[in-house]
């Protein structure tokens, strides 16, 4: 009985996809780039915001899995998810999702009423995507990207700091790039059966999404470069090579190792992990310790 209860608990935990909680790390973008990371009170608020969005994103994932369970049964990997595999009933998942909503919205209200508005906007976007937007070609990818932007904005609201518009654009373009990478993976993995799993895939082709990934990549590199050029500390330009390598490495993995379906798979790629760590270290060292005047300043 205990083993059965433990298995059921694991199924519910799997339902909220903790492996994808890294997306909610975007809530720390505001406090990091505003150079307020040493403020303990603000840092605790950012952590609370992170927990709130983990609960809210878990609710969105739950609704999405309930809606998609019939189609997920046709997918070689998604068929193992709790609902399509039968480990969690749709009713049980619905009750669990409602509880997550209460927790997430309660924490959001505690943080700030503007944070609550951002949380509601995220839920509106997430549920709209699950119920309709994912069926509209190109809009499906844009909707996913908007969800990332809302996360970043919520993080700035939680700690009451400004954020560069260029950084917001970079978040949007990065998410758009990853969304098209996900579509490419689905097309390559499922082949002729792709549209049976996700109806929107009949409107895409491998060549089309690869072109869209290329456009997103080029635009993102330019936007990130502009952000570093216009930053208060132009030593940020030194982080451009890390950003470019990360994007190109992901494209390499998507084409040669078939790892474009779930971006978290890059955490299993040693070069990508090393590059990410170096980028984070470079950003923190430059923002917090590098002089604002130097040879890079015109």
The DSSP-derived string for 219-272 is: HHHHHHHHHHHHSSSGGGGGGHHHHHHHHHHHHHHHHHT---S-GGGGGG-HHH
Model confidence at 109: pLDDT above 80? yes
Identify the band that residue 19 occupies on the pLDDT scale cut at 50, 70 and 90. Answer: confident
Give the pLDDT mean for 281-285: 94
CA 278 centroid distance within chain: 20
Identify the band that residue 195 occupies on the pLDDT scale cut at 50, 70 and 90. Answer: low
Cα separation, 249 vs 252, in Å, equals: 5
pLDDT: is 39 or 79 the higher one? 39
Identify the band that residue 49 occupies on the pLDDT scale cut at 50, 70 and 90. Answer: very high
Half-sphere exposure of 261 (CA within 13 A, CB side): 12
pLDDT digits (tens, 9 = 90+) for 208-224: 988 999 999 999 999 99
**Mean model confidence pLDDT for the chain:** 86
Residue ranges covered by each domain of the chain: 14-161, 164-298
The matching CATH number, chosen from 3.40.190.150, 1.10.357.140, 1.10.150.120, 3.40.50.2020, for 14-161 is 1.10.357.140
Give yes or no for a contact between 17 and 129, defined as CB atoms under 8 angstroms apart: no
Identify the band that residue 75 occupies on the pLDDT scale cut at 50, 70 and 90. Answer: low
Q: Where is average pLDDT lowest: 1-5, 155-159, 197-201, 266-270? A: 1-5
pLDDT digits (tens, 9 = 90+) for 136-167: 899 999 999 999 999 999 999 998 888 788 88
Cα separation, 277 vs 275, in Å, equals: 5
């Amino acid at each position: 009985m205990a083993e059965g209860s433990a298995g059921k608990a694991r199924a519910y935990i799997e339902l909220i996809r903790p492996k994808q909680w890294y997306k909610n790390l975007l809530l720390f973008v505001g406090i990091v780039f505003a150079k307020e990371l040493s403020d303990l009170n603000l840092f605790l608020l950012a952590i609370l915001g992170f927990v709130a969005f983990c609960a809210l994103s878990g609710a969105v994932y739950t609704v999405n899995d309930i809606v998609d369970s019939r189609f997920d049964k046709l997918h070689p990997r998604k068929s193992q998810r709790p609902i399509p595999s039968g480990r969690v009933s749709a009713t049980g998942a619905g009750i669990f999702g409602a509880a997550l909503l209460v927790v997430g919205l309660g924490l959001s209200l505690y943080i700030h009423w503007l944070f609550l508005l951002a949380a509601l906007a995220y839920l509106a976007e997430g549920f709209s995507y699950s119920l309709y937007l994912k069926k509209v070609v190109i809009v499906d990818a844009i909707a996913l990207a908007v969800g990332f932007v809302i996360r970043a904005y919520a993080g700035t609201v939680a700690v009451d700091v400004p954020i560069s518009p260029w950084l917001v654009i970079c978040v949007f373009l990065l998410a758009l790039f990853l969304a098209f990478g996900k579509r490419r993976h689905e097309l390559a993995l499922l082949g002729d059966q792709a549209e049976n799993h996700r109806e929107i895939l009949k409107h895409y082709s491998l060549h089309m999404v690869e072109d869209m990934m290329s456009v997103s990549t080029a635009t993102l590199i330019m936007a990130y470069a502009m952000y570093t050029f216009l930053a208060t500390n132009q030593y940020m330009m030194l982080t451009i090579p890390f950003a470019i390598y990360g994007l190109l490495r992901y494209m390499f993995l998507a084409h040669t190792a078939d790892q474009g379906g779930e971006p978290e798979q890059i955490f299993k790629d040693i070069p990508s992990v090393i590059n990410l760590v170096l980028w984070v270290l470079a950003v923190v060292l430059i923002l917090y310790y590098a002089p604002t005047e130097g040879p890079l300043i015109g």
